[in-house]
């Protein structure tokens, strides 16, 4: 879940269509890079994992609200890295991946997003892409 409307829809889909499943919401904080403006700020933190967790709080807060609306409980996990790769790396730990088709970026709205495409093509488990 990345905070976008479609990632929220993906969570809703998972909760509605798999009511007995254990659902884990994963959010990825981009790894520090000179090319990734906001992500660069965590590079200066003493504890990068704690900084990533703090950045993920708003996404997780919303995820818990959505889960509460469905009378469900969820687990949350934060990872650092490139989103598509990080999701694929963890996919083996789960039975399936449910992902939004793209983020809120205008270019992403025109096409299936790069993250969803990477996960769809490389995941070792079934992937549902929600629009």
Q: Element (H or E) spanning 48, and its range?
A: helix 48-69
> Domain containing 83: what range?
5-130
Q: Model-level pTM?
A: 0.85
CA Rg value for the chain: 14
- Check: CB of residue 109 under 8 Å from CB of residue 102: yes
CATH number at residue 92: 3.40.50.620
Taking only the tens place, the pLDDT of each residue in 2-44 is: 989 999 999 999 999 999 999 999 999 876 655 544 555 555 5
Task: Give the number of domains in the chain.
Answer: 1
Pairing of strands 74-80, 23-29: parallel
């Amino acid at each position: 879940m990345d905070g976008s409307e479609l990632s929220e829809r993906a969570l809703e889909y998972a909760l509605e269509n798999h009511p007995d499943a254990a659902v884990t919401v994963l959010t990825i904080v981009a790894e520090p890079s000179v090319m990734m403006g906001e992500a660069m700020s965590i590079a200066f933190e003493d504890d990068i994992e704690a900084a990533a967790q703090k950045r993920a709080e708003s996404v997780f807060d919303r995820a818990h609200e959505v889960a509460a609306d469905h009378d469900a409980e969820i687990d949350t996990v934060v990872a650092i890295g490139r989103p598509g790769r990080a999701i694929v790396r963890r996919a083996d730990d789960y039975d399936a991946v449910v992902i939004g088709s793209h983020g809120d970026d205008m270019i992403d709205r025109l096409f299936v997003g790069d993250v969803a495409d990477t996960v769809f093509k490389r995941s070792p488990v079934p992937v549902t892409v929600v629009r």
